[in-house]
């Protein structure tokens, strides 16, 4: 059943995903060309990471909200509940879907970051973990507010909040890069701070589940 629900989510977003993929690859190409440029400014890495965090959050948020909106307009959850599917399974399928999106965008960003960062494997793997943890944190907050406020009511709040969350991810990553006293400190923070994002995300999931199980249709 969970596999069927997951496939439904992917199938419903096939055209939207194509649009976002085109945007992503165009931006990624520009970033890669930036990394291969003859002259590079000192702030290039910060421009790069800001764009990565911004597009990671925007793409996954857009797909998550579109998926939830499609289900809401079609009364999909209500239909599935009336056919014996439990709320737990519906909720779990959404969590799996969000994790899949965040994992996919993190892997794509890892490839781009690896090229931009001159194939520094250790740093790029740290960025992969950080980007996955941040994007998951971002999208679970979006999911929570959508369930709590409702899709239409939350649209304005989510737009404003998205910029704030991007600022958190970018700000933390920049602080790690700028204020690490040495290479060891940099890698320790790069690999340990994502654990905090993951722990907060777990708390958000439990809170969202509590609201989802009590949601009225």
Residues contacting 83, CB < 8 A, separation 6+: none
pLDDT, average across residues 89-98: 92
- Specify the pLDDT at position 136: 93
pTM of the predicted structure, to 2 decimals:
0.86
User: What value does the mean pLDDT take over residues 159-183?
Assistant: 78
Q: What tokens appear for 35 in the block? A: 């990394």
Q: Check residue 54 and give its pLDDT.
A: 77
In 3D, which of 127, 100, 99, 101 has the Cα closest to residue 113?
A: 127
Contact call for residues 205 and 213 (beta carbons, < 8 A): no
């Amino acid at each position: 059943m969970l596999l069927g629900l997951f496939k439904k989510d992917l199938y419903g977003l096939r055209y939207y995903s194509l649009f976002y993929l085109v945007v992503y690859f165009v931006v990624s190409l520009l970033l890669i060309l930036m990394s291969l440029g003859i002259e590079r400014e000192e702030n290039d890495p910060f421009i790069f990471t800001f764009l990565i965090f911004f597009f990671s959050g925007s793409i996954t948020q857009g797909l998550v909200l579109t998926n939830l909106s499609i289900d809401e307009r079609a009364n999909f959850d209500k239909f599935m509940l009336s056919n014996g599917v439990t709320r737990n399974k519906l909720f779990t399928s959404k969590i799996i879907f969000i994790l899949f999106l965040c994992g996919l965008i993190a892997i794509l960003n890892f490839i781009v970051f690896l090229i931009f960062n001159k194939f520094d494997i250790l740093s790029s793997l740290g960025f992969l973990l950080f980007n996955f943890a941040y994007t998951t944190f971002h999208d679970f907050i979006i999911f929570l507010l959508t369930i709590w406020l409702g899709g239409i009511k939350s649209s304005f709040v989510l737009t404003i909040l998205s910029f704030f969350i991007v600022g958190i991810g970018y700000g933390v990553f920049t602080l790690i890069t700028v204020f690490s006293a040495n290479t060891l400190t940099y890698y320790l923070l790069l690999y340990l701070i994502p654990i905090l994002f993951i722990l907060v995300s777990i708390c958000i999931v439990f809170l969202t589940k509590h609201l989802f199980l009590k949601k009225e249709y």
